[in-house]
Amino acid sequence: MKRVLVVYYSQSGDVTRAVESFTKFLQTAEIELTWECIKPKDNYPFPWSLYKFFDVFPECVNGEPPEIYPPKFGNDEKFDLIILAYQVWFLAPSLPIQGFLKSKYAKVLENTKVITLVVCRNMWHSASETMKKMIAEVGGIHIDNVVLTHQGPPLATFITTPRLLLTGKKNRFLGVLPAAGVRDEDIYALSRFGKQIANNLAALSDSSRQPMLQGLGAVEVNQRYVIPEFIGRLVYRPWAKIARFFGKQGSWSRIPIVCIFAVQLIFAIPIVLIVSTVVQLLFAPLIHKKIASYVELLKSPSGVD
Ligand SMILES: Cc1cc2nc3c(=O)[nH]c(=O)nc-3n(C[C@H](O)[C@H](O)[C@H](O)COP(=O)(O)O)c2cc1C
C-alpha cells in the first residue's frame, strides 16, 4: 500500500479539477489517497474586488504569506508521494500555498518525493523556480513538474482571465473570445500522469530522484515569455517593497500606492512586451545561450520529450 498526499488550493475550481483528473488512476486499492485543501487564515474572496486583487501583490512578491489552519494529516505522518497543486499569483506561488510551505506543516515534505502541478494564465516560470527553492528548503525531493495554462491566445487571456477573476464568469466573451480558465480536454488529459504513476508504484520506494513523468509532455516552455517574466520580476520587486513600507495587506495607509501600482501596470504590460521583443531581436546572439540554459532549468525535473 502506497500513501499519496494531495495538497492543493483553488478558487475558481480549475486547480481542483486539474488535480482530481491528475489523480483519477491513483484511486486504486494499492494506494491510500489523502486530500488536503489548504485553508489560509486570511480571506481571499472569489471573485475578487479590483482593489483586493492588487492589494495581495506585495505579499505575493515579498514572500509574506498568511498563516494556515492546521491540516488534517498528523505532524509525524509519512507519505510515499506528495502531489502539490497550486496556482500562480503575481509571478509567485499563490499566498495560501506559500503559507503552507512556510508553515511547520511543510515538514511532511521532508525526504519525500514531490510532484508539482501548476495551473495559471501562462506566466509560470518565476513561480515554478520559487517553488523549487521552497521545496528544497523544507527537504522535499522534487521529482516532476507539470504545467497547465489557460486556453486561448495569450493576448485574449489578458481579457478573459481578469474577467474570470473579477466576475467569476468563464463563458466565451462577446462571442469572439474563448472561454476563460483551463480547457476541459487539457484537464481530462492530465489523467495520463496519474496512470504513469499507478503503473510504476514500485519506483516510489526507491531513494532516487528520478522523474516519473518523462516523455508525457509535462512542461511546454514558451521562450517568448522568458524576458517578459524576467523584466516583470525586476519591476515587481521594488514596487512590492515600497507598497509594503506603506502598510500591511488591507491597511488604509497603502491604498494610494497600491492604486498607483495598478494603474502603472496597465501601461507597463504593453511596454514590457514591446521592450522584450526588441531585446530579443537585437541581442539574440548574445543572450541565446543564457535563455537556452534557463529553458532547460524550467523544463526540469521532468524534462520535455
Ligand atoms: C491575485 C492573482 C494573481 C495572478 N497572477 C498570475 C500570474 O502572475 N501569472 C499567471 O499566469 N496567472 C496569474 N493568475 C491567474 C491564476 O493563476 C489562474 O487564474 C489559475 O487558474 C487560478 O486557479 P484557481 O481558480 O483554481 O485558484 C493570477 C490570479 C490571481 C487571483
> Could you tell me if the CB of 91 is within 6 A of ligand 1?
yes
pLDDT tens sequence across 88-108 = 999 999 999 999 999 999 999
Containing domain of residue 34, as a range? 2-224
Domain count, the chain: 1
Identify the burial level of 73 via C-beta atoms within 10 angstroms of its C-beta, where 0-12 means exposed, 13-18 middle and 19 or more buried: middle
DSSP 8-state assignment for residue 40:
B
Could you tell me if residue 8 is inside a domain? yes
Best residue among 8, 86, 161, 261 to mutate for probing ligand 1, ranked by most atoms within 8 Å of CB: 161
- Residue 154: the pLDDT is 86
**What local confidence, expressed as pLDDT, does residue 157 receive?**
93
Residues in contact with 86: Cβ distance below 8 Å, sequence separation at least 6, in sequence order:
8, 9, 15, 93, 94, 97, 116, 117, 118, 119, 127, 131
Position 123 scores a pLDDT of 95
Query: Which grid coordinates are listed for 84?
Result: 502539490
Cell of 254: 497603502
pLDDT at 175: 82
Residues of the chain with pLDDT under 70: 304-305
**Do 36 and 7 form a contact (C-beta atoms < 8 A)?**
yes
Query: Using CA atoms, how far apart are residues 15 and 118, in angstroms rounded to an integer?
Result: 8
User: Is 157 domain-assigned?
Assistant: yes
Give a yes or no: residue 234 inside a domain.
Answer: no
Q: Tell whether ligand 1 has an atom less than 6 A from the beta carbon of residue 123.
A: yes
Residue 18 lies in a domain: yes
Please tell me the distance between residue 185's alpha carbon and the centre of ligand 1 in angstroms. Answer: 20
What are the tens digits of pLDDT across the range 73-92? 998 999 999 999 999 999 99
Residue 69 to residue 247: CA distance in whole angstroms: 24
Residue 123 domain flag: yes
Whether residue 291 is contained in a domain is answered as: no
Q: Would residue 46 count as lying in a domain? A: yes
User: Does residue 144's CB lie within 6 angstroms of at least one atom of ligand 1?
Assistant: no
Say if 233 falls within a structural domain.
no
- Rounded CA-CA distance 1/3 in Å is 7
- Whichever domain contains 44, its CATH number is 3.40.50.360
Q: What is the pLDDT of residue 76?
A: 92
Question: What is the per-residue pLDDT for 305?
Answer: 55
Q: What is the pLDDT of residue 83?
A: 98
